Structure 1
Amino acid sequence: MARNKERGTPEVSSGSMADIAFLLLIFFLVTTTIANDKGILMQLPPPPEDDQPEIEFQERNIFKILANSNDQLLVENEPYNKPMSELKEEVKAFVLNFGNPDQEGIDTYNSLPSQMKVKAKQSPESSDHPKKAVVSFKANRGTSYELYIDVLDAVHAAYNEIYGERVGITSKEFLELDQSKDVEKRMYQQARAGIPKAISIAEPDK
């Protein structure tokens, strides 16, 4: 006669659970990419030499942009509430002004395509010519990163559109020029000849 044996409820062995959890932790640590805030990549100019003469700029050759801690802009000493697209156009007009060109400025003007010559201004109150034009941007330590980047993007876009239009391509195509290729390198140099990207970023106010 078979005897009924009282069997207990089977238990799940949890001895290896700690090992499995540890292996999963190692897996996620190895495969997860942790984003690091590296800030804005900018190339700083070299320190000035002791015997280097101080260069003085005429006031009209400097396009001044100021940003305060409340994200309010002051452009050419006037409050500025316009969109960044208009700021870009104002920078382009300042850079392509020939208010008092020397021979180098005249040569730069003559090298421009006809459609750019039509748009180029000759205001004596603005920059003498593109090689003397400097865009100065100064922010406050309380200025938001969004505004800081928006202003720099507008200034860089102004120059890139000038360069692209000068050689008959878009600003995007200009940025994609491969200087390892002779044809594209010559196009790049032609676009920038006599029109340096002169952007001065002053140390922020505290």
Structure 2
Amino acid sequence: MARRENPEINAGSMADIAFLLLIFFLVTTTMDVDSGISKKLAEKPPKNYDPPKIKEKNIFQISINRNNELFVDGDVMELKDLKAAAIKFVDNGGGVGNPMPGETKGKECDYCGGERDPGSSDHPNKAIISIESDRATEYGTYVTVQNELLSAYSELRNKLCQKKYGISFTELEESYKDSGRKDQDLKRKVESIKLSYPQIITDLDPTSDGN
């Protein structure tokens, strides 16, 4: 009886298929990438630069300690209350602001809806939010604080834009982007709202001992 030989399997084509599948998964698979916070760093001032004097009442001091506890102007505050407190501070309108473009001197805020407390910020363009964190502060806490502050500015801008132009600032910006940033009327409106509520948020060097 003739000996029957087992047919050999050609593994070459299987290796090619496996290689193609590997390339396919590498090309089509998406990987999570941590996104940071968009920040425009201040330019280094000249040597002879004399910084302007800032009244303490125009500074909203936020501190985050190593235990991720939040302090505002020295008092403990819950994170859920930060947005409302920031809006109250920025929108206070208790005095005269810095001159707007085309103005020779500053004026009182005629669009602010705050309490006009003379002990709080004078004007949105003078209101400074200062953040100091500890080196051991969790990154997630820091980002959440930043998001609450940006949300406060967004609410103020949307409210003013709706009042002046009958559209939210978010929609106004989208319309301006859709125009390829070429519509000069939309550009003027966007810049007007931004100048009315400029985002002045500063970061101090992290501490190492916390509160």
TM-score, structure 1 normalization: 0.79
Contact 1:167 1:190 in 2 (8 A): no
1:177 to 1:53, Cα distance in 2 relative to 1, 3 A = farther
Contact 1:62 1:135 in 2 (8 A): yes
1:34 to 1:184, Cα distance in 2 relative to 1, 3 A = same
Give the counterpart letter for 1:93 in structure 2.
K
Q: Which has the larger radius of gyration?
A: 1
Displacement of 1:39 in angstroms is 3.5
Please list every run of 5 or more consecutive structure 2 residues that lacks an aligned counterpart in the other structure: 98-104
Contact 2:169 2:190 in 1 (8 A): no
Give the counterpart letter for 1:51 in structure 2.
N
User: Which residue of 108, 133, 138 maps to 1:144?
Assistant: 138
Question: Does 130-139 or 33-42 show the bigger shift?
Answer: 33-42
Give the counterpart letter for 1:142 in structure 2.
A
1:96 to 1:70, Cα distance in 2 relative to 1, 3 A = same
Alignment of 1:108-187 (within 5 A): 109-110=109-110, 112=111, 116=112, 119-168=113-162, 169-178=167-176, 179-187=181-189
Distance 1:143 1:177 in 2: 39
Aligned match of 1:94: 89
Displacement of 1:17 in angstroms is 4.3
C-alpha RMSD of the superposition: 2.5
TM-score, structure 2 normalization: 0.78
Divergent runs of 4+, >6 A:
none
Displacement of 1:82 in angstroms is 4.6
Q: Give the percent of matched residue pairs that are identical in Structure 1 and Structure 2.
A: 35
1:177 to 1:154, Cα distance in 2 relative to 1, 3 A = farther
User: Which residue of 65, 69, 74 maps to 1:72?
Assistant: 69
